[in-house]
Structure 1
Amino acid sequence: MTSLFDPITLRGVTVRNRIWTSPMCQYSVLDESGVPQTWQLVHLGSLAAGGSGIVFTEATAVNPEGRISPRDTGIWTDEQAEAWRPIVAFVADQGAIPGIQLGHAGRKASTWPAWGFEDRHGSVPVEEGGWAAVAPSAVAFGDLAVPAELDLAGIDAIVDDFRSAARRSVDVGFRILELHAAHGYLLHQFLSPIANHRTDEYGGSLENRARLLLRIVSAVRDAIGDEVPLFVRFSGSDWTPGGWDEQQTATVAAWAQEAGADFFDISSGGIQTGVRIPLEPGYQVPFAEHVRRSAEVDVSAVGLITTPQQAADIVENGSADAVMLARELLRDPHFPLRAAHELGATIDYWPPQYLRARWRS
């Protein structure tokens, strides 16, 4: 079976291994401009130097209203795009593939950042720098403000925003793009009947609920050409009866592949509050495996993957084609280098500055 340290080729890009950095929100644009900062350079750069095959940015908004918080990164302006350029170049210089996750928070937008405002929760008021959120339906997420229901012109504008953001991303050197259709954000809101109560061509049947995502996949593929791989992150389950599930995920993944997507990053949850998720090591891997086998598409698994052997087993037993790591990489940005040693794999991408620290057999 495939090794965790075998390269994988997706369209015109070859990735050096199957251990990838998952998108992780940082809430670190302190001036609220959407322009990535020195923090993004150091954070993402350290993960690239640590041996990850792909290093994805945090969820990066395609328009101002799409930010989760005022401190999110964006790529809706040329200034923001140009600020990403040196970060992308450094990641690539370390041998990793620079990837960007493009997203829109929908009804979960305009919230207080996860750190720095410990006494503030929920939606940021407009008078304090927040904005009105939009969604498929005027249904709030928990205690957040009720969003405005998008009209057809608003939906068309969002498709255009994803297309423009994708073009900017490729122009500054990102070599893989991911559309964020998970964790209860806008594209997931359209997919899930829990958040989508529309009665027009964007609501009701699975085909209708998937329509916006598929339009965006097609628009982005058009914008980025044939050589750049396109990922989609899905929540494999809403963890609630009557919600989004792994079979709907598999069906839409197959449709998305026909529309121009190449790879599917399978997580779960995020569409509603109060859901009890049975957390345990690798608890989301079965969703990735189901999508891989049912839709016959390439997938990655994510969620409480914390040891080299666990990661290797997921790939080698065919549950997924790669693993995405998040919190474990925050604890140990050099996890891939350590994993190669522990698993007996020979790699040639230790940073030369760190060679004196390489384990010897």
Structure 2
Amino acid sequence: MSLTDDLVVEILSRLPLKSFCRFKCVCKSWLALSSDPHHRQKLPRSPVGILYQIPEDGTGIHLAELPSSDKEIDTTLSFVPCYEYLELMSCSNGLLLCYRGGITTYLADISHVIVCNPATEEWMSLPNTQPGPADSEYDLMLCFDPSWSQHFIVFTFQSVSSLYGEYSTEVKIFFSKDSTWHGCHWERDSGFYSTERFLNGVLYVSHVCEHTLLAIDAPDTGTHWLNQRIIHLPGFPNGSDMFDCCDGCLCVSSGVLCYAQQELHGCKMRIWSLEGPDRWVVKHRLSMNGVFGRDLSLCSNREGFLCFDFDIQAFDLERDLVILVDKVTDKIISFSISTGKASEMMKIPRFGELYRRIFYVPYYCKFPALIRG
């Protein structure tokens, strides 16, 4: 008796995704099966851990590893030329965006920007664009969602200040499908540069302090103006006169945008999912009592503002996992949503202060635009 493709995928989903992707070598029919984006979305993708970088030590990219992680993945990116000088910038569904040339705030040459896939050891340098003025600043955001497209795009927001202190923004977008850059016009709010997530053709970027999301529709090569809208986040807003904290955490689980934030007293955290254009639904309310071996309380930062003594680094509802950062002990904690049990992953001095901390879930499929390292 022959089985339908859906039943075969249901059986194979019990195996690791990496093994499933290797099945394409068996025969042509399995090649077609394993290459189908619809089937791949049914398969589990296990997170490896947290990629991070310490600018002061100059030793490249590190991994705070989960116990069940795939140790075969080269998270140091040694397959990329001059990998020792890569600056970790962004991650989108298994692809990484890095700047080659050392830790820097301003990007001197866009051709030093690379996109790579650690799971397949593929990479590419972005082609150069027309350089902006010497005082311009670039913000780059990588957008890849295999359920939406097998190609990725990169947004480049170039901010230029005028003689009168005003800022203008030019947007250029790289499309991996044809390996070209295209320009777009954008009327923007200057504060929208923080955590970003890309899902179903929409780039969500959290505001630095206004407790909102900017949702930008992914353009195509013929787009001249970017479409955008504002979504208010649930929970309580950051930036009051006495309170200062990291404004929650964005993640994608089961194809849905989710948001997690501590409650005001810090003893509990909530996780919401975005169920409509602007409708947030509470999925979990988790107690943090006993997770860190002490009574939780608000503490004061260097500026004298009240803040939480732990951060929510990442969460994955499919894996029943929340990763927390204890700012008192510098410990990285994995927390089970269903059992409420916590376990220490590792201890990294000043980890809570690092700007580049990326939750990494590998993607094992190959890209025509990327080359082997």
TM-score (norm 1): 0.33
Higher strand content, 1 or 2: 2
Q: Which has the higher contact order (CA 8 A, sep 6+)?
A: 1
* TM-score of the superposed pair, with normalisation by structure 2: 0.32
